[in-house]
Structure 1
Amino acid sequence: MLTVPDPAPPRAARGFEAVDTWVFDLDNTLYPPHLDLWSQIDQRMKTYIAGFLGLSHDEAFRLQKDYYRRFGTSMRGLMIHHGLDPDEFLSYVHDIDHSPLQPDPRLGAALERLAGKKLILTNGSVAHAEAVTQRLGLDHHFDGVFDIIAADFIPKPSPETYARFLDRHGIDPGRAAMFEDLARNLEVPHALGMTTVLVTPDGTREIEREAWELEGHADPHIDHVTSDLAGFLGGLAPGGVER
């Protein structure tokens, strides 16, 4: 007789009781994707790649998205296969209009309540992170930015980048939480012992994202999911303990 095993009990999500380091992605995490900053960057990447490689915009777009998925950033693929100068590329693609961003006092208040160190870990540049956080009125809440240049241009989700980040800031991953909008970028942090939070788009807003970017909500390395970062952080008691 075939014996059907009992279903495995659900995995308990990690909490925040021991967390003293709070790590945040930047784009589409600290601000919602419907503000379309990323679409501006996306368009500038396409234009740069078309000129750099002598491609049509459609060809450049296909290559851009292929490299993004395969290498973590389009820039990394262009560096490996085409000898791209990353500094020039970053300067060009981040030359965007940041005016859609407005101060976010609700998120600022939630960050203020968190005890411990607050850091940004981004595949973008420090200059871009500073422009974003200043527009949001959040720059004074963060203790540092670890950007793609600090990562030696090796982007998330490479394990090497997380190791370099943790070492640079002296972080015990078992006492850290990470907030990200891409599920794949939380797999390594979770394996290292971090509490993981996937920040998803507001379902009432129309956004332009690749289908794979919106997947992974139920993956085993995701401890929590929220479409409201400020509300989620505000739901933690002072110091970061869940209410």
Structure 2
Amino acid sequence: MPDQALCLHPTSFAGVTLVGAGPGDPDLITIAGLKALLGADVVVTDRLVPHELLAGLAPDVELIDVAKFPRSRFTTQEDINAVLLDRARAGKRVVRLKGGDSYVFGRGFEEVLDLQQAGVPVRVIPGLSSSLSVPALAGIPVTHRGVVHDFTVVSGHVPPRHPESLVNWDALAASRGTIVLMMAVQNAGVIAQTLIDGGRDAGQSVGIVVDGSLASERVIRTTVGHLGESIETEKVRPPAIIVIGDVAGL
């Protein structure tokens, strides 16, 4: 097959396109995602989306910020769904732009279901999930031959034993696999203690990646037993990915 130059032409879709923007570096959005973004009439965006992507939009593109800030300004999921429906029914080409991947703790499927039930055409363009890409960029593999054969991505936005938690922390603690924690900065200490109580080695390696893929990225090395302390002393603030397992010490 002869070599062909890649043509980055905008694509249009009469409905809503969910686009994962990747972990933060604007260069890490997929080509398909960028084409959809360049062809949009309306972009509904979250707070973790790279600002450079939004700055490159045409002046006539309507930009709607529905960011959800913890303990601050909050846009309900119902309000977001209503915005998507309103613009799509007006005949606009709508891109719903989310950080990472829309289906990894991004509520993307909730929006897809709501749009489908309303009869609005919808498609999904996956993005690089920060759960895997951020550790990789920081030099931490989530699996490695002869070290670990499995990994689990966990939301830590609610602590263990919380009534709303759906995580089997006892099973995680007893496993040998890598644990990748997202949205877990606030609850990292209690999560670490729960894992230790369940059988995890307090001396097992941990890698904390703050602002992954960005110029401000920091990688903090610690152990399960000192995770909570490291979060405090290093003044770790979201967004951060926490990798627990032997791979973090390679």
Higher helix share: 1
Higher RCO, Cα 8 Å, sep 6+: 1
Higher strand share: 2
Which entry has the higher C-alpha Rg, 1 or 2? 2
TM bucket (normalised to shorter chain) is 0.3 to 0.5
> What TM-score does the superposition give when structure 1 sets the normalisation length?
0.34
